[in-house]
Amino acid sequence: MLFHSIRGVPAIDPEKCMGCGACASKCPTDSLTLHRTRDSILLELNVARCIRCAYCAEACPNNAITIEDKYTVIGRSREELAIRVIVPLARCDSCGEPLRHSAREVELAREKVPDLNVIKLCDKCKVKRVLAR
């Protein structure tokens, strides 16, 4: 069940979110946006824009979004109404540079497909390793 009594503000669980952006691409109003910084992914929810459609909750592969019973939100500025989740990126095993995927995505991939040999290397280190062979 996506909601209990009324459809309220979506809540994002920062422990579960892996910054995949599935919710942001489904959101019809652009309330959810994904920003990339050098070492993390920032998922921002603008509650004032949200129409409580619950598409994001349906789309999330990790069930990180739940629809709360709270409908009205009050704040003095748009900034106060924003909900932000910062997801750190995975790092290269050899040089420590941030990769394109988040750490949680890599974890989840390992969990889901145990025999997959996930290589956590940045592009440069991959090239180096191939050349060294």
Q: List helix spans (H) across the chain.
A: 22-26, 55-59, 78-81, 103-112, 123-132
Q: How many residues does the chain have?
A: 133
* Nearer CB in complex with ligand SF4: 42/125: 42
Check: CB of residue 33 under 8 Å from CB of residue 70. no
Cα distance between residue 43 and residue 88, in whole Å: 11
Of 41, 47, 108, 36, nearest in space to 72 by CA: 47
Burial of 47-60, coded b for 16+ CB within 10 Å and e otherwise, reads beebebbbbbbebb
Pairing, β 98-102 against β 82-91: antiparallel
Nearer to other proteins, 30 or 93 (CB): 30
In the bound complex, what is the minimum distance in angstroms from residue 26's beta carbon to ligand SF4?
A: 6
Instruction: Count the site residues for other proteins by CB under 8 A.
Output: 16
Nearer to other proteins, 3 or 128 (CB): 3
Residues 8-27 that bind ligand SF4 (CB under 6 A): 10, 12, 17-23, 26-27
x-or-dash string of contact with other proteins, 26-65, rule CB under 8 A = x-xx---------------------xxxxx--x-------
Judged by CB under 6 A, which of 2, 6, 29, 78 binds ligand SF4? 29
By the rule CB under 8 A, 16 interacts with other proteins = no
Binding site for other proteins (CB under 8 A): 1-3, 5-7, 26, 28-29, 51-55, 58, 67
